[in-house]
């Protein structure tokens, strides 16, 4: 038998709410369903769960949940609310004899005057609670929440429109959302090591929840940078392996490496298995199905451009012959050889990342990454065009920045086939007829997303790779 619970959301990242709920419930092995009429874009949402313990698990892990209440009723008027609450008397009548209690009356998009707050509380007098009112340490807390329309950008007199709410909800507090305190704990500004590409803590925590990070899991970040995704994943008990083509990002200055110093700050250094410098298209992995999840924020050229090994322009036959001859002789100094790199165009990178994940993930494993896109040009086929056999899209949530946005994409490996390692060679790729909105994103960004602006040569890769389907 299912029970109804009222979720009070933090007012941020609305599109991330359902994917996070689904991920956390899957992690703990239960399911939820939305109540009729519930809208995840609104600040309050009613769901069905099998037990109160499931509600507590959501409150302790979901970053976007402020609190969860046992749901007693709702209505567009207080008359409707009280009728619903009376119909659910069996849920609260056991508290009548001697339970201490506290009432709160609050609103979204509005400030309720104290006089009317008292009136609302007194309207529940029919519940006949005989226990004492305890404002400091009550045995139960009853919450009444009014939802008002969004009036941001308008000038209003204080308390204007009081009582003209869209909906009012009522219930008993089950648990405050304790996971939200992690946003401050992992705040980049308080971190001992970070860079200009470090991911903000709330987003990195949301990404980590999408990976189903937990004790015993092994998670890989192929574009590690300064390690923003590693710390929350390790905090939730997972072991983390990281790599990057530029080892300086991971090391920083001084010893131990910057990522290890920050991991020690959070008490999770023992769960950072290793950090390696290599190009993901020239990786050292000799067997697949190693990782439970891959989570990353690929560089897309705004603050730092993606690179892969190779030259921007091929050497002439004469220069290549001279280069090969030079390699035979010992270097005249002790400086290490630094191989040349070339830009890694975003749409090529994204397609390669999916095919790499199919090889490296265990069956059921997840790939979680951000994909920037031009808002006006985006189509659903943009994501579908980079998918391959054995991989299934399960979430695609937008963080809107105006003319552009970035999409948190979650893909699950559904196949149990053991795939060969991808070669990432142009010979194996075929040109897709569809050009996604994230193609040449860096160039579009610096043109201000104007189609009439002059095109600069950013050494982009040309065709969008799409790999043949193999089963």
Summarised one tens digit per residue, pLDDT across range 404-428 is: 999 999 999 999 999 999 988 765 5
Each residue of 200-252: pLDDT tens digit?
Answer: 999 999 999 999 999 999 999 999 999 999 999 999 999 999 999 888 889 98
Q: Which residues pair with 307 in a beta bridge?
A: 343
Mean pLDDT, rounded, for 169-179: 97
Domain boundaries, the chain: 3-177, 194-306+340-447
Mean pLDDT, rounded, for 186-204: 93
180: nearest Cα among 11, 15, 23, 14:
11
Asked if residues 190 and 48 have their Cβ atoms less than 8 Å apart, the reply is no
CA atoms within 13 A on the CB side of 8: 26
CA distance 295 to 444: 25
Buried b (16+ CB within 10 A) or exposed e, 99-138: bbbbbebebbbbebeeeebeebeeebeebebeeeeeeeeb
Task: State the pTM of this model.
Answer: 0.88
- Alpha-carbon distances of 320 from 118, 293, 343, 437, 459, rounded to whole Å: 84, 41, 21, 37, 21
Is the pLDDT reported for residue 168 higher than 80? Answer: yes
CA distance 208 to 218: 12
- Alpha-carbon distances of 453 from 248, 443, 446, 447, 462, rounded to whole Å: 35, 10, 10, 6, 19
CA distance 49 to 1: 9
Domain 194-306+340-447 classification at class level: alpha beta
- pLDDT, position 434: 79
Each residue of 91-142: pLDDT tens digit?
Answer: 999 999 999 999 999 999 999 999 999 999 999 999 999 999 999 999 999 9
The pLDDT-based confidence of 271 (bands split at 50, 70, 90) is very high
- Specify whether the backbone of 440 is left (phi greater than 0), alpha (psi in -120 to 50) or beta: left
Is the pLDDT reported for residue 362 higher than 90? Answer: yes
Mean pLDDT, rounded, for 381-401: 92
- Alpha-carbon distances of 134 from 28, 70, 361, rounded to whole Å: 34, 20, 52
- CATH code linked to domain 3-177: 3.30.2130.30
Return mean pLDDT, the chain. 88
Return the minimum-mean-pLDDT range out of 6-10, 58-62, 82-86, 437-441: 437-441
- pLDDT, position 329: 66
User: Which tokens hold the place of 308?
Assistant: 């892969």
Is the pLDDT reported for residue 331 higher than 50? Answer: yes
């Amino acid at each position: 038998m299912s029970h109804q619970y009222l979720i009070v959301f933090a007012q941020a990242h609305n599109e991330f709410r359902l994917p996070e709920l689904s991920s956390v419930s899957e992690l703990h092995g239960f399911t939820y369903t939305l109540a009729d009429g519930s809208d995840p874009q609104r600040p309050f949402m009613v769901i069905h769960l099998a037990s109160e313990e499931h509600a507590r698990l959501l409150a302790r892990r979901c970053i976007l949940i402020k609190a969860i209440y046992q749901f007693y009723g709702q209505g567009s008027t207080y008359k409707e609310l009280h009728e619903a609450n009376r119909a659910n008397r069996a849920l609260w009548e056991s508290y009548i004899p001697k339970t201490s209690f506290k009432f709160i009356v609050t609103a979204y998009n509005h400030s309720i005057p104290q006089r009317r707050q008292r009136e609302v509380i007194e309207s529940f007098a029919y519940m006949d609670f005989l226990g004492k009112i305890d404002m400091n340490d009550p045995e139960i807390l009853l919450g009444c929440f009014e939802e008002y329309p969004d009036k941001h950008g308008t000038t209003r007199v204080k308390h204007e429109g009081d009582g003209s709410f869209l909906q009012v909800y009522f219930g008993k507090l089950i648990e405050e959302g304790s996971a939200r305190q992690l946003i401050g704990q992992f705040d980049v500004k308080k971190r001992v090591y970070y860079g200009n590409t470090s991911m903000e803590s709330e987003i990195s925590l949301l990404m980590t929840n999408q990976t189903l990070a937990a004790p015993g899991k092994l998670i890989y970040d192929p574009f590690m940078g300064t390690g923003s995704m590693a710390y929350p994943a390790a905090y939730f008990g997972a072991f983390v392996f990281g790599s990057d083509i530029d080892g300086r990002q991971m090391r920083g200055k001084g010893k131990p490496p910057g990522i290890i110093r920050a991991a020690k700050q959070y008490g999770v250094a023992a769960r950072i298995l290793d950090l390696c410098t290599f190009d993901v298209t020239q990786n050292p992995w000799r067997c697949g199905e190693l990782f439970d999840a891959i989570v990353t924020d690929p560089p897309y050229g705004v603050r730092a451009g993606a690179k892969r090994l190779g030259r921007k322009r091929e050497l002439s036959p004469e220069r290549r012959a001279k280069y090969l001859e030079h390699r035979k002789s010992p270097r005249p100094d002790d400086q290490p050889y630094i191989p040349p790199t070339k830009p890694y165009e975003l749409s090529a990178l994204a397609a390669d990342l999916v095919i790499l994940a199919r090889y490296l993930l265990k069956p059921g494993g997840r790939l979680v990454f951000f994909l920037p896109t031009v808002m006006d040009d985006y189509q659903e086929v943009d994501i579908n065009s980079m998918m391959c056999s054995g991989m299934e899209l399960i979430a695609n949530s937008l963080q809107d920045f105006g003319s552009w946005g970035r999409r948190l994409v979650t893909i699950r490996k559904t196949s149990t086939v053991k795939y060969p390692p991808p070669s990432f060679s142009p010979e194996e790729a075929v040109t897709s007829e569809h050009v996604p909105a994230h193609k040449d994103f860096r160039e579009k960004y610096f043109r201000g997303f104007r189609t009439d602006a002059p095109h600069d040569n950013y050494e982009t890769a040309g065709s969008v790779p799409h790999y043949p389907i193999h089963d």
